[in-house]
Amino acid sequence: MKIAGALVGLFLLGLSPGVAQAAWPPSDGQGVCKVTKTVDVAAAMRDGVILRADVYRPVTDKPVPVILMRTQYGKAAAQVQPERFQSPEWYASHCYIVVVQDIRGQYASDGVFDEYSHDRDDGYDSVEWAAKLPGSNGKVGMYGSSYVGATQWLAATAAPPSLKAIVPSNTASDYYDGWTYEDGAFRLAFIENWMAETIAESAAVNRKDDATAQSLKIAGLDIAKWMRFAPYDALPIFAPKDPAVAPYFFDAIKHPTNDAYWKAFSIEARYDKVAVPALAFDGWYDAFVNGALKNFNGVQAKGATPEARASQRIVIGPWEHIGWGRPDAVVSPKLKAIGPVADSPVNELTLAWFDHFLKGEDNGVETGPRVDYFVMGENRWHVAHEWPLAATQYQSWLLGSGGHAASVMGDGTLSLSAVVAGASDSFVYDPANPVPSVGGHSCCAWNTGPQGQFDQSAIEQRPDILVYTSAPLTAPLEVTGPVTVVLYARSTAPDTDFTAKLVDVAPDGEAINIANGIQRASYRESEEHPTLITPGEVYRYEIHVWPTSNLFKAGHEIRLEISSSDYPQFDPNPNTGATLRTTTAVKTAEQTILHDADHPSALILPVIPAGAEGPGADKPPTH
């Protein structure tokens, strides 16, 4: 099957070729302790498998806490680049033992790598091993980003007694919804690329399968081609006949619903086991911000101890997955142009968090519940103590048109009052020519996947995108919180997708994506038991557009794009009742969006009244 549309490039979790990098990490802020390093320190897991870590020791006679990173991306790298964390030596200089461990089956560690499945037990065992290292005071904290955040949450749900605090960045609450799938759709651009370009290749190197490692490296250079390959369950780069290459990819394909396979790893189902304070970092264009906010609320409601319930904090900036601001980081141009106010305070705030919870220092760090969030458009930091914000007022912006909302040249409107007019709009969705992803909340770098802020003007001229636009705003309107689209729609297909994108339109016509979401029709009621739709029948859908914080300035317009594809951010729905995970057959579908008095399709915005937050700050929080 051939899919026309978006041009996507090489995906990677590190640096991009040709991007110059300034010196990182900076040398300032060092602590008072000198540091020694020991490599490949062995730790035996409960089943006898040996994992290895690099241990950085402060030169001191006093027992000190341990900071542990468990990574599948190489302990030598320690997630320092691209301009993310300070070096392990920097943290150790503040009088901590720092342990950076390769997880099972990756880099220097023994055993067979299998995504998610070992990290709860191995996390528990590694925490308790680290707590008993010579010079340790028995208290352990964990830090790291992405899957290295997952290793923290998985360990926390096992409740190792020596774990006292975690700092998970850019990571999710569930490995089915919001990681591998999103409201029924497969997160193609993230999952296929990430597994091919990083974890499958490094696992092959670990087991000394050099031929497979080399083939995966070459496949990574052609990843745009391989994302067009269907069916996914026969993807040649992972060699289905040899499950050792990437069995977790085929497991993901074999389990398209939230079944027992996924529930075994779920964080959301185990909030009542979490007994530690958590300081999370995430970004409005990150692949996992929705799950990070679920974790924030979930542990507050169900955490195992009063301290855990009271000590949840999250910091959300105008960031992508690895784009954390800073002058030479890999950040999409429009977000990068925000400047230093958008730089991540992850290292300063992490150190303050550990100093408080591992050393008992009364250092002024606010432990929560607290949300530090960046309002884009205003470009200032604000603080709340709940999510969504207590001041939120939900506004329903109703869709309207004269029946010709297809493309930006049409007559689609958004209004706070009902506009019946044509009462419906239609378009044809062709899975062989899906709408290209232009920015979004995929993973993991803006120049290698659908992530970040971009002008949507070019694709808005397509006839398979319905465009609904408000009148120019007479006053600024802040939107902060979860965004929902209620859509009344019918399709000629037994299954299909509906996508929604919130856009900020400047007076000069530049149309910037703020947040997006998708709903697979068959998953409209349940992610465990999907059911097909009846062609021609009208259904009510709720599309969960991901949370955001944006100030729509006076003179700007609010825009909503509705379509049925967002490729390669998500797999195109073939409109047959099957999926491209298992088939290549596709057919076109005619989609109709209703917006009459009986079918009030609407964009529901979480609006923060002017003055409700205070003036905000022009620097990120450090305490």
Q: What is the mean pLDDT of residues 61-70?
A: 98
**Dist CA 427 CA 593 (whole Å):** 9
Using pLDDT thresholds of 50, 70 and 90, give the confidence band for residue 111.
Answer: very high
Radius of gyration of the chain (CA): 24
Q: Return the ∠ at Cα 219 (arms to 217 and 222), rounded to 5°.
A: 120
DSSP state of 195: I
- 143 pLDDT exceeds 80? yes
How far is the C-alpha of 175 from the C-alpha of 95, rounded, in Å? 35
9: confidence class by pLDDT, cuts 50, 70, 90: very low
Query: Does the pTM exceed 0.85?
Result: yes
67 touches 60 (CB < 8 A): no
In angstroms, rounded to a whole number, what is the distance separating the alpha carbons of residues 161 and 601?
50
pLDDT digits (tens, 9 = 90+) for 262-301: 999 999 999 999 999 999 999 999 999 999 999 999 999 9
pLDDT in tens, 416-455: 987 766 789 999 999 999 999 999 999 999 988 899 999 9
Half-sphere exposure of residue 322: CA atoms within 13 angstroms, side-chain side: 26
Q: Is 146 a catalytic residue?
A: yes
Confidence check: pLDDT of 588 > 70: yes
Where residue 20 falls among pLDDT bands split at 50, 70, 90?
very low
Position 131 confidence tier, pLDDT thresholds 50, 70, 90? very high
Candidates 54, 102, 174, 286; catalytic one: 286
Residues 251, 577: Cα–Cα separation, whole Å: 21
Question: Residue 360 corresponds to which tokens in the numbers above?
Answer: 């008992």
Q: Which residues contact 578 (CB under 8 A, 6 or more apart)?
A: 585
Is 118 tagged catalytic? no
Interatomic CA distance for residues 433 and 27, integer angstroms: 50
Q: Are 71 and 148 in contact (CB under 8 A)?
A: yes
CA 616/CA 623 separation, integer angstroms: 15
What pairing do the DSSP bridges indicate for beta strands 64-71 and 136-145?
parallel
**Is 344 designated active site?**
no
Question: Is a pLDDT exceeding 70 seen at residue 12?
Answer: no
Average pLDDT over residues 355-375: 97
Query: Angle 265-52-29 (CA atoms, 0-180°, nearest 5)?
Result: 90
State residue 554's pLDDT score. 98
**Would you list the DSSP string of 494-563?**
SS-EEEEEEEEE-TT--EEEEEEEEEEGGGSS-SSS--PPPTT--EEEEEEEEEEEEEE-TT-EEEEEEE
Task: Tell whether the model's pLDDT for residue 6 goes beyond 60.
Answer: no
Indicate the helix (H) or strand (E) that contains 384: strand 380-384
Q: Give all domains of the chain, ordered by start, each with its CATH number.
A: 35-177+274-384 (3.40.50.1820), 393-608 (2.60.120.260)
Residue with tokens 């026309």: 4
pLDDT at position 193 = 92
Instruction: Name the DSSP letter for residue 196.
Output: I
Question: To which H or E segment does residue 166 belong?
Answer: strand 163-169
Q: Which of the following is catalytic: 145, 146, 401, 563?
A: 146
Looking at residue 135, what is its pLDDT?
98
Under a CB-based contact definition with an 8 Å cutoff, are residues 156 and 166 in contact?
A: yes
Residue 472 scores a pLDDT above 80? yes
Q: What is the pLDDT of residues 395-419, one digit of tens each?
A: 999 999 999 999 999 999 999 987 7
pLDDT band at 487 (very low <50, low <70, confident <90, very high): very high
How high is the pLDDT of residue 420? 65
What is d(CA 495, CA 578) in angstroms, rounded to the nearest whole number?
A: 8
Q: Which of 28, 153, 40 is nearest to 100 (CA)?
A: 40
Cβ atoms of residues 159 and 273 within 8 Å: yes
What is the C-alpha separation between 296 and 117, in angstroms, rounded?
23
Which of 321, 556, 595, 599 is labelled catalytic?
321
Ranking 98-112, 344-358, 409-423, 573-587 by mean pLDDT, the lowest is 409-423
- Which token pair is 451? 């992530």
Mean local confidence (pLDDT), 157-170: 98
Is the confidence at residue 2, as pLDDT, over 60? no
Q: Given the DSSP bridges, would you call strands 557-563 and 466-469 parallel, antiparallel or unpaired?
A: antiparallel
CA distance 285 to 446: 10
| Confidence grade of residue 325 (pLDDT, cut at 50, 70, 90) | confident
Q: What percent of the chain has pLDDT over 70?
A: 96
Alpha-carbon torsion (515, 519, 525, 529), positive or negative = negative
Region of poorest pLDDT, from 17-21, 110-114, 593-597: 17-21
pLDDT digits (tens, 9 = 90+) for 254-265: 999 999 999 999
d(CA 174, CA 292): 10
In this model, does residue 81 exceed pLDDT 60?
Answer: yes
**What band does 244 get if pLDDT is binned at 50, 70 and 90?**
confident
| pLDDT band of 5, cuts 50, 70, 90 | very low
27 vs 470: which has the higher pLDDT: 470
Q: Is the pLDDT of residue 555 over 70?
A: yes
10 — pLDDT class (breaks 50, 70, 90): very low
Mean pLDDT across the stretch 557-575? 98
Cβ–Cβ < 8 Å for 485, 540: no
Respond yes or no on whether the N-terminal peptide bond of residue 568 is cis (omega within 30° of 0).
yes
Nearest of 474, 499, 363 to residue 416 by alpha carbon: 474
Calpha distance 514→364 (Å, rounded): 34
What does the mean pLDDT of the chain come to? 94
CA atoms within a 13 Å half-sphere pointing along the CA-CB vector of 253: 23
* Whole-number Cα distances in Å, 407 to 265, 403, 410, 459: 42, 12, 6, 8
Q: What is the mean predicted confidence (pLDDT) over 544-565?
A: 98
Measure the CA–CA gap between 320 and 327, rounded to whole angstroms: 15
Side by side, the strands of the sheet bearing 380-384 are: 35-44, 50-58, 97-102, 64-71, 136-145, 163-169, 278-283, 312-317, 370-375, 380-384
**How far, in Å, are 312, 355, 548, 622 from residue 366 at the CA level?**
10, 12, 23, 10
* Contact present, 426 and 464 (Cβ < 8 Å): no
| Amino acid sitting at position 375 | V
pLDDT tens string 187-223? 999 999 999 889 999 999 999 999 999 999 999 899 9
Report residue 22's pLDDT band, with 50, 70 and 90 as the boundaries: low
Residue 262 in contact with residue 283, Cβ under 8 Å?
no
Percent of the chain with pLDDT over 90: 89
